[in-house]
Chain A
Amino acid sequence: MHYSDLAKRIVDELLRPDGSDKLRPVHTIGIGATGYFEPSEVAPQYCKADHFITPRTKATLRFSNGSGSKTQHDDWSDVRGMATRFHLSDGTDTDLIMMTLPEFFARTPEEFLEFTLAAKPTEVHWVSPWKKIWQMLHLIPPQPDPYPDEEISPNEGAIKFANENRYSQLAVFQAAAIGAPVSYLRAAYHAVHTFVVTGEDEVERWVRFTWQPIDGVKNENPLDPPGADYLQGRLRDRLADHTSRFTLMMQIGEVGDAFDDSTKPWPPHRQRVMMGTLTLDHAAEDTKAQDDYFEKLSFNPMLLTPGIRASEDPVLHIRKEAYAYSSGKRDATPCPFSGGAEDDQ
């Protein structure tokens, strides 16, 4: 696959000084899980892809913290990721990558590069108490104090960028307040981009996907943080003798909706379809073999299958190259696009 300079530049610039080029440049800390997906009764009407017409499809997942730091900080406020690979009946795979933030920071790859450069982690600052008082008198919430051990952070740069770019404001504002979930199984995740699904009747619909946890959404109390390392243990504990489920909800877009702009979530009043249920029954054990397997996995949001195709969202399209290039760079198990094929669709 040919990688554009832009895709390579973005991935290279994402790497943080406290990250590692042997690991993912973002979503660096994570844990694997497995389970199966069962489509709802109505799913085939909307999407004829294999996993929506097959009664049960095995799935491999990786949950992650969004940060590119190689040090685990589960209790820091951060976006979380849930990458799902469905193992289809013909032996191929399709991926569905989601995060807890419902929208993205940029409308185009070029804007995302600008954002990445602006939000490069910088040394964290304690805002002086006098400045905090000044801000409170201006009814502006002061920036929270740094976490103990926090050295660098993208926040200052991201907020400065958002102050100048309306399109990034919602994502930056919501990311700033996103918090830490009590469990990877207790957060809702969004695929953010629009995909085009084709139903059994060949009708195409422009849609957006969300995983909703049946365990319910719950965040930690930031004033009583549980410590830097609890998400992986809780996932293993929960799945040791129970299963945990997510429903796959699909919003159907309407003419006039932002199909190709992932900075704009769709209003909650769009028609919604429950497409199926994911049951997780196993978390990766705390062994080197499991770690090697899941940490070397390479997901790709453009790994699709007949019945689902990408919208024209340019950010979605550049992710195909970015993830494949990143996979090669960190010497991971290649994703299907990492090979030599000149397949850029």
Chain B
Amino acid sequence: MTNKDTWFNRYVNSLPTRGWFKLLSRYVVVPYWIWRDPKPKLPGGPRESPQPSENTQRMMNLIMPLKDPSPMGRAMAAMAIAQNVDEIFSGLDNVGTVHTARFLILGDNLCMISVYDGDFSNYIRDFIETIGSVFDAVISQIKGAEHMIPTCDHVEEFIEWVHDHDLFQAPDFPTDLFALQDAAKGLPTDGPAHEIMTLPRDLILQLHANPNLSLGGGYRSYPGYSAAQVRDKFGVGW
């Protein structure tokens, strides 16, 4: 085989790291492909699965845009949480299926990050049941959510809204992205194969439709066990 490692070849290999080519990609190439091959926004939250371990320690990454992202508005959001810590903690104890939950202010969003067992709708429904008033205080700080206050009168709509603001969870195995995109377009997931080297492009285009996402389902040090099983094993009484 003749060595074809010419100057031009080396230059082309370095294009992805060159400023002008990065600008070209960012402002021309990627927008062209977004126009040419748009991807539907993929739904948030864990995907349905009949398997027991997929129904424990599920992730919720709820990203809620702040109505007022100024320091004042952020302080209001912080206050809404701080003033309700007792309600939130006792509510979570009552729900019983939550491993961890916390609020973050990140970028211009208030985020609720939690790990729970069981069905998503039931999780949110239980929550509204036990700490609906906290949710009302929280979403009064959120853009486009006021119409659902009080949440106890808008349960189904609120569940839908939460689902929509829960981050898409990218698949644990990269090539599964093809099937998720096909399914979102209503195409059969066992149809003709995609060219595998188009996967990086599909990921880029998906990141346009879902700019924020969870990278895979994450690590668990004791996968497959529910909060109830863990508490039972430690004998902590509830």
Residues of A near any B CB (own CB < 8 A): 123-124, 126, 129, 132-133, 136-142, 145-146, 148, 150-151, 159, 162-166, 169-170, 172-174, 252, 254-257, 265, 267-272
Q: Which residue of B lies closest to A264 (CB)?
A: B173
* Chain A residue contacts of B33, Cβ below 8 A: 138-139
Partner of B197, one of A141, A148, A150: A141
Chain B 13-47 interface 0/1 with A at a Cβ cutoff of 8 Å (1 = within): 10110000100010001100100000000000000
Segment of B81-89, B92-100, B133-141, B215-223 in the binding face: B215-223
Q: List 30 A-B contacts (CB under 8 A).
A: A126-B1, A129-B8, A129-B11, A132-B12, A133-B12, A133-B15, A136-B15, A139-B25, A139-B201, A140-B197, A140-B198, A141-B197, A141-B200, A145-B4, A145-B13, A159-B196, A163-B193, A163-B196, A164-B193, A165-B193, A166-B178, A169-B194, A170-B176, A254-B53, A269-B53, A269-B54, A269-B56, A269-B57, A269-B220, A271-B223
Partner of B1, one of A129, A132, A151: A151
Q: Which residue of B lies closest to A133 (CB)?
A: B12
Evaluate contact between A257 and B51: CB separation under 8 angstroms.
yes
* Chain B residue contacts of A174, Cβ below 8 A: 174
Interface size on B, residues (CB 8 A): 49
List B168-206 residues whose CB lies under 8 Å from chain A. 172-176, 178, 190, 193-201, 204
Shortest Cβ distance from residue B67 to the other chain A in the assembled complex, whole angstroms: 36
Shortest Cβ distance from residue B42 to the other chain A in the assembled complex, whole angstroms: 17
Give complex CA distance A145, B175 in Å: 24
Give complex CA distance A126, B9 in Å: 9
Does B52 have its Cβ within 8 Å of any Cβ on chain A? yes
* Given A129-B9, A139-B29, also A162-B196 (CB < 8 A): yes
Evaluate contact between B175 and A173: CB separation under 8 angstroms.
yes
Evaluate contact between B219 and A268: CB separation under 8 angstroms.
yes
Q: Which residue of A lies closest to B46 (CB)?
A: A269
Evaluate contact between A137 and B172: CB separation under 8 angstroms.
no
Partner of B200, one of A126, A129, A139, A254: A139
Chain B 125-161 interface 0/1 with A at a Cβ cutoff of 8 Å (1 = within): 0000000000000000000000000000000000000
* Chain B residue contacts of A148, Cβ below 8 A: 3
Evaluate contact between B204 and A139: CB separation under 8 angstroms.
yes
* Chain B residue contacts of A257, Cβ below 8 A: 51
Nearest 5 Cβ contacts at the A-B interface? A271-B224, A139-B201, A126-B4, A129-B12, A169-B175
* Given A268-B219, A270-B224, also A169-B1 (CB < 8 A): no
List B96-122 residues whose CB lies under 8 Å from chain A. none
* Chain B residue contacts of A146, Cβ below 8 A: 1
* Chain B residue contacts of A133, Cβ below 8 A: 12, 15
Evaluate contact between B15 and A269: CB separation under 8 angstroms.
no
Give complex CA distance A124, B2 in Å: 10
Partner of A159, one of B9, B16, B50, B197: B197
Partner of A267, one of B172, B199, B204: B172
* Chain B residue contacts of A165, Cβ below 8 A: 193
Evaluate contact between B223 and A272: CB separation under 8 angstroms.
yes
Q: Which residue of A lies closest to B58 (CB)?
A: A269
Evaluate contact between B193 and A270: CB separation under 8 angstroms.
no
* Chain A residue contacts of B15, Cβ below 8 A: 133, 136
A129-B9, A146-B1, A166-B193 given; name 6 further pairs at CB < 8 Å: A129-B12, A139-B204, A163-B193, A169-B193, A255-B50, A270-B53
* Chain A residue contacts of B13, Cβ below 8 A: 132, 142, 145
Give complex CA distance A139, B24 in Å: 12
Give complex CA distance A267, B169 in Å: 13
Shortest Cβ distance from residue B227 to the other chain A in the assembled complex, whole angstroms: 15
Evaluate contact between A265 and B224: CB separation under 8 angstroms.
no
Q: Which residue of A lies closest to B56 (CB)?
A: A269
Residue of B57, B175, B225 with highest tally of chain A CB at under 10 A = B175
Give complex CA distance A172, B194 in Å: 13
Q: Which residue of B lies closest to A102 (CB)?
A: B173
Q: Which residue of A lies closest to B176 (CB)?
A: A170
* Chain A residue contacts of B196, Cβ below 8 A: 159, 162-163, 169, 172-173
* Chain B residue contacts of A123, Cβ below 8 A: 1
Evaluate contact between A145 and B193: CB separation under 8 angstroms.
no
Shortest Cβ distance from residue A230 to the other chain B in the assembled complex, whole angstroms: 23
* Chain B residue contacts of A163, Cβ below 8 A: 193-196
Shortest Cβ distance from residue B57 to the other chain A in the assembled complex, whole angstroms: 7
Give complex CA distance A133, B25 in Å: 12
Give complex CA distance A25, B178 in Å: 34
Give complex CA distance A277, B58 in Å: 30
Evaluate contact between B201 and A138: CB separation under 8 angstroms.
yes
